[in-house]
Amino acid sequence: MKTTRFLTILWLAIFYGAGAGAAQPGAKISGKVAFESDRFGKRFGICVLENGLIRNVYPQGGANPRWSPDGKRLAIAEHRSEFTGIIVVNASEQLLPYPLELGPLMASWLPDSESLIFASNGKALQKSETGNLYHLNLNTKEVIPLTDFDDGKEMKRVILSRDGKKVILKRALSGTTDQAINSIEYLIGRLDGHRITGIEPLPVYPSDPSWFPNGKKIIYTSGYFKGEKNLKGYLLSYDFETGEEALVYENKEEFHAPVISPDGNHILVSGWSGIYMMNLDGTEIREVVRPLDLDGFSSHDTSPDWAP
């Protein structure tokens, strides 16, 4: 209760006291984009680009913002000394956080926009340190385990397809970095009611994968493509029906965290100097979120998610 009251008071003070900030982005984009940014303060917050303006919708911090399928709410992973959990923010004029003290890392929405699946490595939900997946109903607050791993590995990421049928899991031993390729495993399974079934290794090694709307392909970055290594990485796609890995863009800007537009026609990526949009074939790269000059340093804008 103390945490909930503190966050609500802090949110109202910031929102009504400071007002929503605005900044001029780059190229026009349909729909709305949520992303992490430090452009409004020393710590990262969650911003939304919509109708040519950038608003700071969650100044307290947070990471990995994810839109609900109906585009009305954002799920944000929050990690602070006084609170660790999921924050659900209503994407309307009354922007109030909804803390759920579950100790998760990140979340993915189910198609009903009323439920989430999330990864947790905390002991609040289990006896061991092993990371597992859980289902959360936002209306009933009921939490149901979806996996029962018990091998000591942490859950690093969970990426659910937009139809809610397939899920990609990233798992590794505690303390493992992304550079330790042999210690990280990517798995794919099916969400079957309240269980993840048919879990098997992913055919490719994708960093920050994201699903196409049809659930048949993923977009991701990787340091390797057909035996060739690129220190800045490749932007690739993988088709689960054909088994084909295809080159979308040979990274020169070190793009990362790609997502596909809701209509499936464009790619949004993070760069070291903003957020960019490109066609599915890697052409016509346009700046969407232009970094701000913060006393000689550029703002860092990353981890976008796109809603209609």
6, containing H or E segment:
helix 2-18
Give the pLDDT of residue 233: 84
- 244 is a domain residue: no
Question: Residue 140's domain spans which residues?
Answer: 104-202
pLDDT at 210: 95
CB 133 within 8 A of CB 146: yes
DSSP 237: E
In a domain, 84, yes or no: no
Q: Count of domains in the chain?
A: 1
- Give the containing element (helix H, strand E) for 304: strand 301-307
H helix or E strand, kind and range, residue 86 = strand 84-90
Query: For each successive 10 residues of the chain (308 residues), what is the average pLDDT?
Result: 38 33 59 90 84 87 90 84 76 56 75 91 64 89 90 88 95 64 84 95 91 95 85 90 95 86 94 89 92 80 92
- Is residue 184 in some structural domain? yes
Residue 112 in any domain: the answer is yes
7 phi-psi bin (left φ>0, alpha ψ -120 to 50, beta other): alpha
CATH of the domain at 134: 2.120.10.30
